[in-house]
Amino acid sequence: MARVLFVTSEAYPLLKTGGLADVSYSLPMALHELGQEVRVLMPAYRAALSKASELRCAALFEVHGQNVAVLEGRLAPNGPLLWLLQHPGYDRPGNPYMGPNAQPWPDNAERFALLCRAAVELAQDRAGLNWRADIVHGNDWQSGLVPALLSLEAQRPATVFTVHNLAYQGLYPYEIFQRLGLPHQLWSMHGVEFHGQMSFMKGGLAYADRITTVSPSYAQEIQTHEFGCGLEGLLRQRHEDLSGIVNGIDAEQWNPAIDLHLPAPFDADHLEGKAANKKALQLRLGLTPDANVPLFGFIGRLVQQKGIDLLLKAMPQLLDSPVQLAFLGSGEPLYEQSLLYWSRRFPRRVGVVLGFNEALSHQIEAGVDVFFMPSRFEPCGLNQMYSQRYGTLPIVRAVGGLVDTVVDVTPETLAAGKASGFVFNKASAKSLLKTVKRALALYQDKAAWSAVQRTGMRRDFSWQNSADRYLALYSQLRPEAVAVKSAPEELPAPVVEPPVKKRAVRRRKVEEA
């Protein structure tokens, strides 16, 4: 049994801004079920405190001259222990990363350096909790300094660092590095220094014993100039320690047969219920309730990464076809305003809800026929998996986790019973529209459509496989600590092939298809 300290800046259901929160709930839960002793550490944001129950103060200690507390509870009633790190810097309303002006909180470097330092104290049993970690698993830049700081300890746990999105790096001027009082040994081009700035992300990438990303394709992509955000050289150097493990989904939260957010349940053998969800969604969004019109959906952050600009560019032609559209998201004001424009122009055909709404996100997945994910890059992506589970065919771009989890509809994949959605290659409105045409053509063939729906709904996206793979990785690092209950057949393969070549082959395949 390994003692795992899982460090994260957000976790469902306490606080969620994106996929990291889902992973920070599901993976620790799955590892806990596999018999590991997991502790999930995250900041005690005000919103998280209001959602957590039965917390007790388990420790009071000092971190680099600041007093902090650990409030202990459970991630879920039968789940692993949750450690909320309490400090005045986390006690503010709203988004954990940004203030109401949509700008990063000015003290983010201090807030997340404190999280990292506290993680080190907890992992090293210096917080009075009588617990020492075998493995510390950090996630994204907010916990990037954990492997860096631990590397300076004479005796330390093994470290795993998972990249959920390389585009957010936690970059700060050198003065901040000094102000944080970080050990000077870390300041080098082989350490946290990145073109004269300090990079939290590099702290994870340079010092962790193993690096993972949330899909095998993304692990390849980030070694290239196109997706590497300037860190591709370092990642290529570390390719033997780098692997991709695709995220799973929470098969209970996202199960259309028991989803309490839905007006009508359904499953692969009883698809009829989906029609009731479609109608309810059309009514909710003010669209014409028509069972036959293909309804397309989009949920996500309204930023360029998600390809929302491609969708907006395609809008005039898209609306030339008899389709309806449902959007849920929030983000850059220009995209928000553009969506509102289209919904005002076509109120019975375009429904837009701005903001974050968990229940509506389930209702959209259940109610639409097709789901758009035309991302420019996508480390893993979750909605394309939710879509398949909900009998909704995703249209995705051939990047990252999207290409790893959606099987393009072709005559061959259809015949083999493997097709589950539509994959396109070029990040352009034209390519997207061509793919919409393919989807509309298939929609006319009701038998083929429902066969693809059923294929998607029966796919196994559960966390079991992925959690086994993380556990195998832990056991490579600390074989004596990890008693693997059911030994996975193979260890996660490090990425060793030249990334660019493989990418090109994969793209060609998609294009040919």
Q: Note whether 398 and 506 are within 8 A (CB).
A: yes
Q: How far is the CB of 249 from ligand ADP (least distance, A)?
A: 9
Stretch that binds ligand ADP, among 86-94, 200-208, 286-294, 353-361 (CB under 6 A): 353-361
**Which phi and psi (to 5°) does residue 451 adopt?**
-65, -45
DSSP per-residue letters across 110-130: HHHHHHHHHHHHHHTT-SSSS
Q: Which is nearer to ligand ADP, 6 or 449 (CB)?
A: 6
Q: Which is nearer to ligand ADP, 34 or 467 (CB)?
A: 467
Q: Note whether 466 and 248 are within 8 A (CB).
A: yes
Stretch that binds ligand ADP, among 17-25, 50-58, 106-114, 465-473 (CB under 6 A): 17-25
Binding test (CB under 6 A) with ligand ADP, winner from 7, 182, 287, 328: 328
Binding test (CB under 6 A) with ligand ADP, winner from 129, 356, 426, 465: 356
Binding test (CB under 6 A) with ligand ADP, winner from 5, 19, 140, 287: 19
Report the site for ligand ADP in 235-264 (rule: CB under 6 A): none
Burial class (CB in 10 A: 0-12, 13-18, 19+), 49: middle
Q: Does 96 bind ligand ADP (CB under 6 A)?
A: no
Q: Which is nearer to ligand ADP, 19 or 191 (CB)?
A: 19
Q: How far is the CB of 370 from ligand ADP (least distance, A)?
A: 16
Q: Does 329 bind ligand ADP (CB under 6 A)?
A: yes
Q: The tokens of 333 are what?
A: 């004001």
Instruction: Tell me how far apart the alpha carbons of residues 98 and 95 are, in angstroms, rounded to a whole number.
Output: 5
Binding test (CB under 6 A) with ligand ADP, winner from 304, 317, 330, 450: 330
Q: How far is the CB of 407 from ligand ADP (least distance, A)?
A: 18
Q: Does 361 bind ligand ADP (CB under 6 A)?
A: yes
Q: The tokens of 496 are what?
A: 């060793």
Q: What is the 3-state secondary structure (H, E, C) of 221-276?
A: HCCCCCCCCCCHHHHHHCHHHEEECCCCECCCCCCCCCCCCCCCCCECCECCHHHH
Q: How far is the CB of 250 from ligand ADP (least distance, A)?
A: 9
Closest C-alpha to 511, from 405, 397, 414: 397
The site for ligand ADP, by CB under 6 A, has a size of 17
Residues sharing a CB contact under 8 Å with residue 472, sequence separation 6 or more, in sequence order = 484, 487, 488, 490, 491, 492
Q: How far is the CB of 470 from ligand ADP (least distance, A)?
A: 17
Q: The tokens of 69 are what?
A: 């507390």
Burial 155-192 (b: 16+ CB within 10 A, else e): ebbbbbbbbbbbeebbbbeeebbeebebeeebeeeebb
- x-or-dash string of contact with ligand ADP, 373-402, rule CB under 6 A: -------xxxx-------------------
Looking at beta carbons, which residue is closest to ligand ADP? 19
Binding test (CB under 6 A) with ligand ADP, winner from 10, 22, 140, 309: 22
Q: Which is nearer to ligand ADP, 198 or 370 (CB)?
A: 370
Helix axes 273-284, 358-367, angle to 10 degrees: 130
Q: Hunting for tokens 């936690």 — which residue is that?
A: 170
- Per CB under 6 A, residues contacting ligand ADP are 18-19, 22, 299-301, 328-330, 356-358, 361, 380-383
